[in-house]
Each structure stands twice: as C-alpha cells, then as structure tokens.
Amino acid sequence: MATPENKKALAVGIFLALGIVVFVIGVFTLGGQQKSFEKSIYISAVFNDVAGLKKGNDVWFSGVKVGTISEIKFVGIAQVKVKMRVDQATQQYIHRNSGVHIGSDGLIGNKLIVIDGGSPQAPVVQDGDALQVEKLPSTDDILKTLQLNNQNLLAITTDFKLLSHKILQGKGTVGALMADSVMGMQLRHSMSNLQAATSGAAQLAVQLDQFGKRLNTKGGFADKLLTDTMTFNRVKGAVAQLQQAAANATTLTNNLNKASNKLNTTDNTLGELLNDPKGAAQVQSTLKNLQESSVKLNDDLEALQHNFLLKGFFKAKAKAKADSLKK
C-alpha cells in the first residue's frame, strides 16, 4: 500500500513530465512560427526611414510570410540597415534585382517588409546580398495629399456655391437664360436652326457620297479619265486646242479693237469716210460719176459693135468662141 509520500512524489513526477512535454511542444511551436529550425539565408536593405519597423517583424513575399527581421542598426548618416532572415526554400523565387519596401499588416497593423520578385532574367539572390529599397509614399505623405485634396475640394465647393448663388440671382449668361424667358426662347430657336443646319449638312454629305460613288462607277467618264491614258490624252489635247482657240480669239479681239479704233479716226480712208461727212459726199459723188461713165461706156461699145468697120471683127470673135464651146 502506497504511503502518502510516494503518492506525493508520483504526482510531482507526473506534473514535471507534463511540464516538460508542454515546454517541448511550446518550443517546437514557437520555433515553427519563427522558422528557427528551417534553413535560412540572410539578406539586407538600407532604409532612410523604417517607419517604426521592429526586430522580429515579418518579411512577406507575394503575400506569404517567408522570414523575419533579425537585426536593425544604424549605418552611415541617418540610415538604417535592416537584416532579414529568409527561408532558403523561397530563395529560388527572389532575384537580385528585387525591390523591398515597408508595408503594414492591414490598415493600422504591424509594420513589415515586402519583397518584390524581380525579373526572372536576373540571378537568384544569395546569402549576404543587399536588395534595393523602393521609394513608396508613406502614411504621412498620403495624409498630406489627402489634406491638400480636401483643401482643393473645399475651394471648388466654395466657388460652386458662389456661382450657383449668382445664377439664382440672374447674373451672368446662364443666370440670364434661367431668368429671362425671351432669351430662353431665342436660344431654343437658335438650337432648332442649328439642328436643321446639321441635318442639311448630313444630307449634303450623303449626296456627296452618292456622287462620289457615281464618279467611281466602272466604265464611266470619270473612271476612264482617271484610268484610261488614251482618254486622258484626248481630253488633254482638247484642252490644249481650247486654250489655243482662246488665245486666237484674244488676238482677233485685239485686232478688231485696233481696227475699230482706227475707224474712229480720220487718218485713214475708211475712218475719213465714216467720220468726215464732206469726204463721204465726195466719195459718193465719185461713185455716181463712175456709174454714169460705165453706162456710157456700155452704150459706146454697143454702138461700136454695129459699126460697119468693126462689125466683121466682132463676128469673127463670136464665131471663134462658138467653135471653142463645141470642142
């Protein structure tokens, strides 16, 4: 039968055993979360501002936790070097031209480091490599931008308020249109005219399109003129002839103008006849005398034909003419 001391020792032993088991499980659990028992590589990055980053914060790659921050220290002038422990299993996906920036776990969560994959053409990152820091707007920068946008929005709404107030008072063109019904009717009439003009322009465009299609009809005059070199040369020759005819007509017109100008002067016969009544009367008298002389000459010739001295001559001449006609 067990004594009270043995029971007490057994209880203590069981309690210690359970404590050891819990401790071991806790160590392995925490070590698994911190990935202390996995093979890792160390990479670093130098920041001008870590924005409250702490040792032990997570390192993410494509939204997955791949490591933790192992060390944070100052280097250079106001610069902070952050050393990261990254799982060796993810090494093959991270390249040397990858960039890092500081993010947060949610809107107001803990700070963390985010690694971008980089290009596949670059070599894979190695233990001890330093990655390039990407410059991203911080929360303060975003808040400043939002504040500036709010100021601009306030200014816009203030201006719109003043503008709407002036419109309601009938000031300006828009206010006059809203307050003056006559001007509104005129504007409506103008819009109707504009719509009619637009419709007319559309119809004209359709007609021009139809006319263009007719010009492009195969075998038509326009088609032959544009594609048949013989027709084009004929048209070109006709145009040249028209140009020559126009030039000749111009020359003829100039000559007629010169002749008409001379007819208006008295330094030539026709001009003197047209412009000098005395000279014209003399010419008429001369023509009259010539006519009378020709009549007398005809009478004299008729008398000579009947004269017995020349009668034989005229008969012989008439006979010779008759013989030549018979031949």
Instruction: State residue 14's pLDDT score.
Output: 79
> Does the pLDDT value for residue 1 go beyond 90?
no
Side chain identity, residue 119: S
- Band of residue 42 on the pLDDT scale cut at 50, 70, 90: very high
Nearest to 265 by CA among 282, 279, 286, 251: 279
d(CA 116, CA 93): 10
Give pTM, 2 decimals: 0.38
Nearest to 61 by CA among 107, 117, 17: 117
Q: What is the mean pLDDT of the chain?
A: 76
Whether the CB-CB separation of 59 and 112 falls below 8 Å is answered with yes
Instruction: List the single range of 63-72, 119-128, 155-164, 173-182 with lowest mean pLDDT.
Output: 173-182
d(CA 133, CA 102): 9
Instruction: Give the tens place of pLDDT for each residue, 151-210.
Output: 888 888 887 777 776 666 666 666 565 665 666 677 777 788 888 888 888 888 888 877
d(CA 202, CA 295): 84
CA 199 to mean position of chain CA atoms: 26
> Does the pLDDT value for residue 63 go beyond 90?
no
- Which range has the top average pLDDT, 50-64, 143-157, 253-267? 50-64
- The side-by-side arrangement of strands in the sheet containing 64-75 is 40-47, 79-87, 64-75, 58-61, 111-115, 99-104, 132-133
d(CA 295, CA 180): 102
User: Which tokens go with 68?
Assistant: 């933790």
Instruction: State residue 301's pLDDT score.
Output: 66
Instruction: State residue 225's pLDDT score.
Output: 58
> Who contacts 73 (Cβ-Cβ below 8 Å, separation ≥6)?
80, 81, 83
- Band of residue 44 on the pLDDT scale cut at 50, 70, 90: very high
Instruction: State residue 70's pLDDT score.
Output: 92
